[in-house]
Amino acid sequence: MTDSNDFGHAITDSGQPVVISGWGRSPYSSSTRIDFGDTPGRYRPETLARYISALPPSNRIIARGLGRSYGDASLCAGGRFVSPDDLSQTFDFDPATLRLRVSAGVSLDEIMRRLIPSGYFVPVTPGTRYVTIGGAIAADIHGKNHHKDGSFAQHVTRMQLVTASGSEELTPADELFWATAGGLGMTGIITEATIQMRRIPTSYMKVTTERTPDLEETIVRMSSKDEQFQYSVAWIDCLATGSSLGRSVITWADHAEVADLGRKQMRDPFGYSPRTRLTAPDMAPSWLLNRASIKIFNEAWYRKAPVHAETTETIPGYFHPLDGVADWNRLYGKPGFLQYQFQIPFGAESVLRHIIERLSGARASSFLAVLKRFGPGSPGPLSFPAPGWTLALDIPINDPRIASLLDGLDYLVAGAGGRVYLAKDSRVAKDLIPVMYPGLTEWAEIAQRADPEYRFISDLGRRLELRKLPEPKASLLGTLATRNRRGPN
Amino acid sequence: MIDALGQPQCVLVIGGGSDIAAAAVDRWVDLRTDTVILAGRNFKEMETVQSKLQAHSSVKVEIAYLDLTDHSSIEPFVDDAFDRFPDIDLVLLAAGQLGDQAEDEISPSRVEAMFDTNATGTAITLTAVANRLRRLGSGAIVVLSSVAGERVRRSNYVYGSTKAALDGFSLGLADSLSGSGVRLVLIRPGFVKTKMTTHLANAPLATTPDRVADDIVAALAKNRLLTWSPGAMRWVMLVYKHLPRSIARKLPF
Ligand SMILES: Cc1cc2nc3c(=O)[nH]c(=O)nc-3n(C[C@H](O)[C@H](O)[C@H](O)COP(=O)(O)OP(=O)(O)OC[C@H]3O[C@@H](n4cnc5c(N)ncnc54)[C@H](O)[C@@H]3O)c2cc1C
């Protein structure tokens, strides 16, 4: 297929549509990569803008990063996607201001490889370093330092956004900036951003580990100790029941000072060599990860943890343990898996407990879940983090009953004033989104002004009707009641 | 958009009066579906399904006339449905006639009618539907086949051979859809107690529309191409398929 544009060169789509999915491998859909070929100036935002405006508006477009969102946020069925490889030209770091001007397709992995050896670190990193700048902003991602430092977009000083009407520079003073942060690609294509980096004393982490016997203790410890550390996270065993419900291993950390290092580490305090030790097989049978095998893993992992310990770890070891196994998402087999991540406000700890009870009581097996305390949220209307607790757990798609289990949990979450993380979602009911994200309408209006022809809509956006401007509705509660006649269970 | 657990939002049912289809749609409406298009010949049956669905939800249900023996009308119908409902993410093919073996096997015109509906009509429908879903780049097709087509039997070979055609066609289509983002789920129910079968004696492993519907929902969630309903039917058929013809012929079912 060829689309000619007004500057005389043809931009060809690289032929066939390809099937893509998020990290959970379900759902999937097919779309066509926009291929800029060797168009002169193809990396300029204006070129991209002109390309887009030359397409009929019925062609949906979405920018894709490294596909680490779990569900359908980076999918555009029947439409086109922009590959991160085509947004990778700029990498410009200024040590004086600690600002990094970088193309949106560049990954945190690359940034770390290039800058950690000189003593600089990203302001926020998620549990994997294989995410792009575009994906980090579009999901307004959080890290283990959210309680101290907020979310990723709060460290972005400027970004370049392309829509059909052109290319625009945005700063945090613009409402479109905050609609794009957390807006999951549905306000346009981020081509470049400037990130406020930070200096680190070494490339090591000073880690304090504590094992807790149950959820109450986990909550108390985190609440009382988080403020003393820059990073904090708890790994919860969601298969433990009864008096062990919610037993966890909490790790707090700060960047290690040179004085904290061992002699060998001191020789190269900024040494950084992330390694992938294993690659998961492509054809893993879906029974490989079942309740029994996961339970054994969780048990061993809990017993191995010290009651209290202080250690020095590497950055990959502390932040990105899963990145040591390439393509580990294949271990869940062909049906794939999903990640359920929600936030509930402080004060609703009883709901958190109730949810963990239901998860451990159900047959939905899961590896360790991750529990974290959020600090204040960002101004992004669709940005996920908000003050409170967040729990994230992987669930294999091996039993259709997880549908009603999770629907029930959604009601508890929404009822407690919380929300699910859209970058992880692949199944929530659309009626709950305006309840979970009260800023949805405001966001949809800003997105509509930036993209009046509705070009930038992902499969997630269609499934949850995120870009739909609401008609005046009589009563939202009425709708909820009629939709789910069997009600929250 | 169909979600990670195979839950559709906008469903087109071919054979909208079918008991199994009604049971499956009932489940989807309970989960995520808010628009249903029922297509078929029998308005009375479809209206019954419609009012049953709407009795407990705010789902939008449209009823449309479609006669699978009117072959030239099928593609325009499918195109029109997708034009008006561009978000169709699941097509359930549940149309079919059971016929009456004793009468069918001696009547060329009845055989023609059976093939017109169950084989030719469904194959045309599947082709038209697949074309549209391919363009959308996602979605699911659920085909209700039958164990009767797996090994065609003396006792219902007219019906069985039409299902054999549908079954084989669907499996081939499923392969052709690989790489398109569209999935196909093929269900082979055993003997299902429905309004189509009230006059027949119960067969071994008889099942109900509700149980077949549960199996459909599960097959979509797990994204499994081939499902026997009940599951044990798979092993029964495995044995049965390998019985010598002289013995199989004499079995009562
Ligand atoms: C193992 C693992 C651990 C994780 N841990 C965390 C965590 O701790 N905290 C957290 O917040 N998240 C976490 N995530 C989720 C992940 O950080 C986000 O989903 C992130 O958005 C993925 O980035 P990506 O580059 O892969 O983007 P994709 O998944 O490809 O896309 C994500 C979204 O960003 C949009 N997007 C991508 N590029 C652009 C662009 N250039 N312009 C506009 N929009 C764009 C896409 O349209 C899509 O909506 C984790 C994921 C995995 C697999």
The class that CATH gives domain B10-248 is: alpha beta
Kindly state whether residue A225 falls inside one of the protein's structural domains.
yes
- Rounded to 5 degrees, φ, ψ at A314 are -80, 165
Tell me whether residue B31 is exposed, middle or buried, using C-beta atoms within 10 angstroms of its C-beta: 0 to 12, 13 to 18, 19 or more: buried
Residue A292 CB contacts under 8 Å (≥ 6 apart), including other chains: none
pLDDT, position A324: 85
Q: Report the mean per-residue pLDDT for chain A.
A: 90
Is residue A73 lining ligand 1, measured as CB closer than 6 Å?
yes
Nearest to A467 by CA among A436, A435, A433: A433
* Terminal-residue alpha carbon distance, chain A: 50
pLDDT, position B241: 83
With H, G, I as helix, E, B as strand and everything else as coil, classify residue A281: coil
Give yes or no for a cis peptide into A57 (omega within 30° of 0). Answer: no
Q: Is the alpha carbon torsion for B218, B219, B220, B224 positive or negative?
A: positive
Nearest to A119 by CA among A88, A98, A90: A98
pLDDT, position A365: 62
Over its length of 253 residues, how does chain B's per-residue pLDDT go in tens digits?
999 999 999 999 999 999 999 999 999 999 999 999 999 999 999 999 999 999 989 999 999 999 999 999 999 999 999 999 999 999 999 999 999 999 999 999 999 999 999 999 999 999 999 999 999 999 999 999 999 999 898 989 999 999 999 999 999 999 999 999 999 999 999 988 887 777 777 777 789 999 999 999 999 999 999 999 999 888 888 888 888 888 888 776 6
Domain that holds residue A239: 204-434
Q: Which whole number is the average pLDDT over A346-373? A: 89
Nearest CA in chain B to A27: B4
CB neighbour burial string for B91-109, b if at least 16 within 10 angstroms, e if fewer: bbbbbbbbbbbeebeeeee
Nearest to A481 by CA among A437, A438, A431: A431
| Predicted confidence (pLDDT) per residue in A210-261, tens digit | 999 999 999 999 999 999 999 999 999 988 888 999 999 999 999 999 999 9
pLDDT at A201 exceeding the cut of 50? yes
Secondary structure (DSSP) of B176-199 = HHTTTTEEEEEEEE-SB-STTTTT
Q: Using the beta-carbon criterion (under 8 Å), do A459 and B217 form an inter-chain contact?
A: no
pLDDT, position A3: 36
- Tally helices (H) and strands (E) across chain A: 15, 23
How many residues can be counted in chain B? 253
Q: Using the beta-carbon criterion (under 8 Å), do A335 and B3 form an inter-chain contact?
A: no
CB–CB of A199/A240 below 8 Å?
no
pLDDT, position A394: 92
Distance A349 CA to ligand 1 centre (A): 28
| Predicted confidence (pLDDT) per residue in A294-341, tens digit | 778 788 878 888 888 999 999 999 999 888 888 888 888 888 999 999
Q: How far apart are CA A57 and CA A65, in angstroms?
A: 23
Contact list in A for residue B181 (CB cut-off 8 A) is 17, 19, 28-31, 77
Flag whether residue A145 sits within 8 Å of chain B, measured between CB atoms: no
Q: Using the beta-carbon criterion (under 8 Å), do B137 and A78 form an inter-chain contact?
A: yes
Domain ranges of chain B: 10-248
- The reply to whether B157 belongs to the active site is no
Q: Using the beta-carbon criterion (under 8 Å), do A78 and B4 form an inter-chain contact?
A: no
Q: Which of A26, A33, A420, A457 to mutate to test the interface with B (most CBs of B within 10 A)?
A: A26
Atom of ligand 1 nearest to the CA of A142: 11
Name the pLDDT band for A182 (thresholds 50, 70, 90): very high
Name the pLDDT band for A471 (thresholds 50, 70, 90): confident
Is residue A184 lining ligand 1, measured as CB closer than 6 Å?
yes
| Predicted confidence (pLDDT) per residue in A102-142, tens digit | 999 999 999 999 999 999 999 999 999 999 999 999 999 99
pLDDT, position A488: 40
Nearest to B39 by CA among B74, B6, B7: B74
Nearest CA in chain A to B223: A335
- Rounded to 5 degrees, φ, ψ at B14 are -95, 115
Give the one of B57, B221, B222 whose C-beta lies nearest to A483's C-beta.
B57
| Predicted confidence (pLDDT) per residue in A393-427, tens digit | 999 998 888 999 999 999 999 999 999 999 999 99
Higher-pLDDT residue of A363 and A249 is A249
Q: How many domains does chain A have?
A: 1
CATH of the domain at A232: 3.40.462
Kindly state whether residue A189 falls inside one of the protein's structural domains.
no
Q: What angle do CA B134, B135, B138 make, to 5 degrees?
A: 55
ipTM: 0.93
pLDDT at A291 exceeding the cut of 50? yes
Percent of chain A with pLDDT over 70: 91
Kindly state whether residue A101 falls inside one of the protein's structural domains.
no
Kindly state whether residue A165 falls inside one of the protein's structural domains.
no
Kindly state whether residue A340 falls inside one of the protein's structural domains.
yes
Distance A66 CA to ligand 1 centre (A): 7
* Terminal-residue alpha carbon distance, chain B: 42
Is residue A139 lining ligand 1, measured as CB closer than 6 Å?
yes
Q: Using the beta-carbon criterion (under 8 Å), do A459 and B223 form an inter-chain contact?
A: no
pLDDT, position A283: 65
Kindly state whether residue A257 falls inside one of the protein's structural domains.
yes
pLDDT, position A474: 55
CB neighbour burial string for B224-238, b if at least 16 within 10 angstroms, e if fewer: bebbbbbeebbebbe
CA distances from B99 to A96, B63, B93, B196 (A): 83, 25, 18, 9
Helices of type H across A44-197? 45-54, 108-115, 133-138, 146-149, 175-180
pLDDT at A208 exceeding the cut of 50? yes
